[in-house]
Each structure stands twice: as structure tokens, then as C-alpha cells.
Amino acid sequence: MVLAVFDKIGAAVLGATDTFGDFAVLAGRAFIAIFKRPFDGKNLLNQFNSVGVNSIPVVVLTSLAVSMVFAVQLAFGFRQFQAEGLASQVEGLAVMRELAPVITGLMLSGRIGSAMAAELGTMQVTEQIDALECLATDPIQYLFVPRLLASMLVVPLLTIVSVYIGFWGGYLILVGVEGQSAYVYGHEFYKLLAFRDLRIAIYKGLVFGMIIALVGCWKGYRTEGGAEGVGNAPTSSVVTSSLWILISDFFLTKLLLV
């Protein structure tokens, strides 16, 4: 009875270690493959397009919505202490440090991570990845690297876009609705921020981009079992990468903010 429980726990731990080990090995191979020839510029450009350009609307809309609703909450909250002036400072702090990177990361894990998992998953079950292998092309280099690079560049960039949109989202509410002075808002938004905060936001974007691409590609690459497998890959990639984005956000904040 007790042994059976230990058995189960042991099996679960072993399973988790296996999975993580597999991910780590593939991720390592992907990073090594970045420096290998031949470098596939055309493929990379395609990825920039599908990963970057097409994600702008999603990021703009979600950042606007979140920053606006946050500003409404802040205005309401600080009014209770007659401290409306603080709302714009806190808005700036929240947008730059947490909202922009995390919202961008989560949205893109749904937008591009899942697409990567679905695409590679389909390639896996239709033997296209085997065909790549047979044409002496490393699928890690051919498929993972462009997606990883594109995502590591695009997520930080979109994080900056998100900060910028966040500024205007707060502006709409605090200046437009609450009637604060536009000049003061523009000033106060950045008051509690230093250049370091922008750097941290970019680091976070970089790490989130890495997580999104690696988890998406890994889940796709390890797809098995036909249509059902292809259906599960994106879901599981979004769940896993969102989880890791939130966990790593905590540690990045802890580490970088001190």
C-alpha cells in the first residue's frame, strides 16, 4: 500500500525529470545550432514576418485594454486617499515593470508559440521532419533556430511597443476621463522609473521569447499520434510556456530588481 504510493511518486518524479531533460537537451542543441552553417536568412525573414509583424495588432489591443482598466482601478483606489496624483506614477511603474512584459509574453505564447507547436506537430506526424533528416538537414537547425531567433528579437521589441501603448492607455483614462493635466501625466508616468527598468523589461522579453519559441517547437517536435496529437500540442505548449513565463517573471524580478 505505502510502497505503491512511493512507486507512483517515484514514477511521476522520473517522468518529470525525463521530460525536463529532453527539453533541456533540445534547447541546448538549438542554442548550439544557432552558430552552425549554413545560415538560413530567408527562413529567418519569414519567421520575423509571421512572428513579429502579424502579432502587432494583438499586442496593441491587449496592452491598451489592460493599461486602461489598470488606470481606472488606480484612479478609483487613490481617490479614496485624495491621492489621485499618484495614479500616473504607479501606472508607469506597473506598465513598465510587469504589465507590458507579462501581457506581451502571455499573448505571444498564445499567438506564436501555439502556431509553432501546431506547425511542427503537423510536420512530425506527416513525416516531414523525417524527410528533413533524410535530406541531411538538422531539423533543430532548420526549424528551431529561425523561430528561436525571431521570437527572441520580436518579444522584447513588442514589449517596448506594449510599454508605449500602455502609456497612452493610461493617458486616455487619467487625462481623458479623470481630467488630470496631460503635462503632469507625461512627467509623472516616468517619475518612479529609471533606465534600468527599461533594461529589465527587455531582459524579460528576451527570456519570455526564448521560452515561447523553445516550448512551442519542443511540443511540436515531440508530437505523436496523428490528429489528436497535433491538436494537443498547441494547447499544451500554451499552458506550459505561460506557466514558465509567470514563474520566470517572479525570479527575474527578484534577481534583477535588487
Partner 1 sequence: MPVIDVVNLSKAFGPKVVLSKVNLQVEEGESLVVLGGSGSGKTVLLRNIMGLLTPDSGHVAVEGKIIAELSREDLFTVRQSIGMCFQMAALFDSMTVFENVAFGLRRHHKMTEDEIRARVEECLGMVGLKDTDKLKPAELSGGMKRRVGFARAIALKPKILLFDEPTTGLDPVMTDVIGRIILDLKHELGVTSITITHDLKSAFEIGDRIAMLFRGECIACQAPADFKANPHPVIQQFLRGDADGPFLQDPPPPKRNPQEAHA
First to last CA, the chain: 48
Supply the minimum distance, in Å, between the C-beta of residue 116 and partner 1.
13
Q: Which is nearer to partner 1, 132 or 198 (CB)?
A: 132
Supply the minimum distance, in Å, between the C-beta of residue 181 and partner 1.
53
CB 117 within 8 A of CB 217: yes
Residues 130-159 that bind partner 1 (CB under 8 A): 130-138
Determine what percent of the chain falls in helix, strand and coil, rounding each to the nearest 5: 85, 0, 15
Q: What gap in Å lies between CA 107 and CA 62, rounded to an integer?
A: 8
**195-221 and 145-171 helices, crossing angle to 10°:** 140
Beta-carbon contacts of 142 under 8 Å, excluding residues fewer than 6 positions away, are: 40, 43, 132
Q: Which is nearer to partner 1, 3 or 135 (CB)?
A: 135
Q: How many residues belong to the site for partner 1 (CB under 8 A)?
A: 15
Site string for partner 1, 30-49 (x = CB under 8 A): --------x-----------
Q: Which is nearer to partner 1, 30 or 100 (CB)?
A: 30
Q: Which is nearer to partner 1, 22 or 130 (CB)?
A: 130
Choose which of 17, 19, 54, 126 interacts with partner 1 (CB under 8 A).
126
CB 220 within 8 A of CB 123: yes
User: Applying CB under 8 A, which residues contact partner 1?
Assistant: 38, 122-123, 126-128, 130-138
